[in-house]
Chains A and B, each alone.
Chain A
Amino acid sequence: MQKSKVSVWRQAATSLTAVVIAVSAFVVVLLPGRAPAQTPGPEISHFTLKNGLEVVVIPDHRVPVVTHMVWYRVGSADEPPGVSGIAHFLEHLMFKGTEKNPEGKFSKVLATIGAQENAFTTADYTGYYQRVAKEHLQQVMEFEADRMTGLVLTDANVLPERDVVLEEFNMRVANSPEARLGEQVAAALYLNHPYGRPVIGWKHEIEKLNREDALTFYRRFYTPNNAILVVAGDVSADEVKKFAEATYGKVAKRSEIGPRQRPQEPEPAAVRHVVHADARVTQPSLQRSYLVPSEHQTKPGEAEALDLLAHIVGAGQNSRLYRKLVEERKLAINAGANYSGTTVDATRFSVYATPQGGTSLPDLEGAVDGVLAEVIENGVTEQELTRAKTRLIADTVYAQDNQATMARWYGAALASGYTVEQVKGWPDRVRAVQAEQVRDAARTWLQKQRSVTGYLVKEWPKTEEKKERRS
């Protein structure tokens, strides 16, 4: 077990349910956000096929392998009411086979050629990937292009998979009081926007999902003009273009995709608290989410200011929260914050803390408020800002070591409506942020009426009524 310095609640609004984990410790963790450095990064190519499929190629010629990903601009926030979880359920069902390649033939071939594969769903996108020796790239593309529109589903393969998804729900949510609180905080934060629904769905709705629901959703959203192909690794843009035209290029567009218009949030008006009590809780904790804009909605530089604010307030041991609550006042075992701005709609700025010893959650919350009030009042120091910029920008250099990371960053950004240029320009935009902008972001967005605070406790506090009865 690792020292618990890392956030327990690393998911933001686009809480990811990595999916189809078969075996081993192979877990997909995707955090929307960090853009790779502009220089001396790889030469990234970007083009669009005639049927509307966007293509991104990220060269990395060190080892003869490639990471091949297809992203659909559809996630749980695009689901119609009443069928929550269908985006994710469909993602599972995409492994069931097509008319041309029935009964999981795709996975069987991958299991022979030595490809790693998996898929994932968030509120904003759904992705499928294979990592494989480069000579198999075109074959993998043929299979993936085939299942873009060729999926065949029967009750015989749909119904057991629904049980699998319910077990995934049990594992991720029902067995974990922390996750249950997170679900409840999100639901309380979003009064109108479907980001308030869990990506995996509500259990009572997952239980009723069926073949028709899946196919209806599939036909509407799975079409080349709603997809992005990302290939990273030992391949050239020309090769990818040739292969893509020979495979994906032959898939006809089958539906028109309009702008993604989800119901938007009203201006938040009230401070909200939720309490989740569960007998299994042996370590109380608190988490808070503020409704804040995504990079689509902020004014220039503001999203980057929020990135830096989250880092300065809550990333690691140099952060304000850790130093004040854990080191100095010894009220907390752990504390932090995070923000992920690369979402389609209004996202979350999250804060969490775990109390030390006898610290009550209201006292801990008061101390968190004190730390945030200090930043709102006096802003951040130049030293803090420089350190945070160094770390965030360096992360984009470290990312260049990993073709799969690069593919995920570009894929997630494009699938959420951002451009290659925006991704590339992120380090420069971070560099340009001034301390006042960070303070202003805190003042504007860390207002308590924008937030929901969740308490995780073992049992409800004893009520006054009981005390009276005793006396």
Chain B
Amino acid sequence: MTAITFAARIGQAAGAAALAFAFTCAAPAQAATNIERVVSPQGIEAWLVREPSVPLVAIDFSFRGGSSQVPAAKAGLATLMTDLLDEGAGEFDSRTFHERMESYAISMSFSASRDQINGSLRTLAEHQDIAFELLNLALTKPRFEQPLVERVRSQIMSGLRRGTTNPNELANRSWWNTAFPGHPYAPAVNGTLDTVPGITIEDLKAFRQRMFARDNLKIGIVGNVDAAAAGRIVDRIFGDLPAKADLVAVAQASPQALGRKLTVELDVPQSVVMVGGPGIPRKDPDFIPAYVLNHILGGGSFSSRLYREVREVRGLAYSVYSTIIPLDHAALFVAGTATRSDRADEALQVMRDEIRRMAQTGPTDEELASAKSYLKGSFALRFDTSSKIASQLVQMQVDDLGIDYIIRRNGLVEAVTMDQVKRVAKRMLDGGMLVAMVGRPSAATAAGGNTAGPSADPAAAPAARPVDKK
């Protein structure tokens, strides 16, 4: 199924060292993509895929950290900091910086999540040196000038204001606030209308210094560059960073308030339902079985059980899904849908029934075989552009999967047995879950009076009443 060649090329130039794995993606796609492990002269590791046929260079990177490193009172700091990196850096003010990006057709973006600060650079090969300089400046010498801070802050505040009447946003916020009380995972990554105004320039500078270092950094490069050149590129961009990040310990957590149902009243025609509980950590031996299981229940095809029962058979929703979210310090299973308010309770019931049915009886043999086949067959679709490959190179490092994961992965999926899936179904899906429902779910059932009354402030969601024990 797979062919591996192993080659070590050491000291090609300037102390750059590279280990190369040549592999083919497992059947059915006979993809050939070489991943090389590059160690730069300054000792920074990156994973490289050499791609000579497209005249661009794609670099993705990730710093472990993210919004879970931010005190609750400063929620939104990670987003404000990342949004300001390209607003002036080093000798270039914001305007000059953006002019240079456009003049050389360079794209650069940054984002924060709960566990990471992620970044991405796309440049034409002919302008790569300018791109590397700009990215280096953005990471090491962002200006954080007052007028720019205020401008970007106002943009974030505008988005937060919009979010106060957006049912998806409200469902998410009330769910996370209630599931992780007192934990850094509780606040939304981009903060709240209360916290964002209080973030200072000193906060921004200090947070950048804490987060951006060489020991919490993962890099993926795709382009027409060899290992030696990749080593030089890595040092050019990241070599100035301090050796060590200054991260605070984040407690392991699991979602709380299981069995409760939060209701946020909002006058919208379509209610949003979010259901969640504990998932399976990425390093857990049950992760791949859980991934296969989730695919059958509500993953990415038009044949999942939730899709069939909620959407196709009953016409209750356009969108319905389930997913497993393995964070660094918690693992989640989450399912959701959006449905007309007078049938929201029905949609929730159907989802619960399907989750329970899966927990109790597991999938059929045919479903399991089909899911494994799908997941193997579609794996190559994650690698068909340089951009996607760069992103995968980083994700595999963030998840600590090993440079040969890409050749092992389909074998891991293939090895999943019915017994494993059934056991994981019980483990993951059989307990109580926390439900957040936003909209007017009581509109149609007001006579029955079975839902919580208005709870205007989603921030107060923990106070919403527990209704409807599973």
Task: Spell out A's residues near B (CB within 8 Å).
Answer: 1-5, 20-24, 26, 40, 60, 62-65, 95, 104, 107-108, 110-117, 131-136, 159-168, 170-171, 174-175, 233, 279-283, 316-318, 323, 326-327, 330, 333-334, 354, 356-357, 386-388, 390-391, 393-395, 397-398, 400-403
Contact = CB atoms under 8 A, between A and B. Distances in A.
B28 A333 contact: no
A168 B385 contact: no
Contacts of B104: 390
A393 B102 CA distance: 11
A62 B53 contact: yes
Given A112-B377, A397-B56, 7 more contacts: A3-B159, A63-B29, A63-B33, A110-B302, A163-B316, A165-B318, A280-B165
Given A22-B311, A115-B378, A170 B105 contact: no
Nearest to B270: A170
A400 B54 CA distance: 7
Interface in B303-359: 303-304, 306-307, 311-323, 338-340
Contact of A104 (B28, B105, B188, B302): B302
A116 B190 CA distance: 32
B417 interface: no
B55 A318 contact: no
B365 interface: no
A111 B370 contact: yes
B31 A64 contact: yes
A333 B318 CA distance: 32
B98 A318 contact: yes
Which one of A20, A111, A334 has the highest number of Cβ atoms from chain B below 10 Å of its Cβ? A111
A160 B321 contact: no
Which one of B301, B312, B384 has the highest number of Cβ atoms from chain A below 10 Å of its Cβ? B384
A23 B300 contact: yes
Contacts of B224: none
Given A282-B161, A282-B164, A2 B268 contact: no
A166 B30 CA distance: 42
Which one of B102, B155, B190 has the highest number of Cβ atoms from chain A below 10 Å of its Cβ? B102
B124 A394 contact: yes
A451 to B, nearest CB: 24
A4 B54 contact: no
Interface string B280-301: 0000000000000000001111
Contact of B315 (A4, A22, A134, A162): A162
Contact of A397 (B124, B304, B381): B124
B370 A401 contact: no
B380 A133 contact: yes
Given A22-B307, A390-B104, A115 B377 contact: yes
A176 B325 CA distance: 27
6 closest Cβ pairs, A-B complex: A114-B377, A163-B315, A394-B105, A160-B315, A114-B378, A170-B270
A24 B102 contact: no
Interface string B140-165: 00000000000110111011111111
Contact of B98 (A65, A283, A317, A394): A317
Contacts of A393: 105
Interface string B365-388: 000011001111111110111110
A116 B270 contact: no
B218 interface: no
9 contacts: A3-B155, A23-B301, A23-B322, A24-B299, A104-B302, A159-B315, A167-B315, A333-B154, A391-B102
B167 interface: yes
Contacts of A400: 54
A23 B306 contact: yes
Contacts of B321: 22-24
Question: Which secondary structure dominates chain B's binding surface?
Answer: mixed
A228 to B, nearest CB: 22
Interface in B64-101: 79, 83, 94-95, 98-99
Contacts of A62: 51, 53-54, 384
A391 B105 contact: yes
Contacts of B79: 1, 3
Given A114-B375, A114-B378, A135-B28, A26 B300 contact: yes
B219 to A, nearest CB: 19
A114 B376 contact: yes
Contact of B378 (A107, A116, A390, A402): A116
A167 B381 contact: no
Given A111-B302, A114-B376, A135-B28, A167 B270 contact: yes
A136 B377 CA distance: 10
A4 B373 contact: no
Nearest to B317: A167
A390 B302 CA distance: 41
Interface string B181-198: 000000011100000000
B383 A63 contact: yes
Given A63-B33, A113-B374, A316-B102, A167 B299 contact: no
Interface string B5-38: 0000000000000000000000011110100000
Nearest to B388: A402
A170 B338 contact: yes
Contact of A23 (B31, B160, B298): B298
B269 A170 contact: yes
A223 to B, nearest CB: 25
A164 B267 CA distance: 21
B293 to A, nearest CB: 14
A84 to B, nearest CB: 18
B373 A112 contact: yes
B260 interface: no
B102 A167 contact: no
Contacts of B312: 104, 160-161, 164
Which one of A2, A116, A326, A327 has the highest number of Cβ atoms from chain B below 10 Å of its Cβ? A2
B319 to A, nearest CB: 6
Contacts of B28: 113-114, 133, 135-136
Given A21-B318, A62-B53, A397-B56, A1 B163 contact: yes
Contacts of A326: 151
Nearest to A113: B377
Contacts of A316: 98, 102
B155 A334 contact: yes
B111 interface: yes
Contacts of B159: 1-4
Given A107-B302, A160-B314, A283-B158, A40 B31 contact: no
A60 B160 CA distance: 42
Given A22-B311, A65-B381, A401-B387, A282 B152 contact: no
Which one of A60, A394, A397, A403 has the highest number of Cβ atoms from chain B below 10 Å of its Cβ? A394
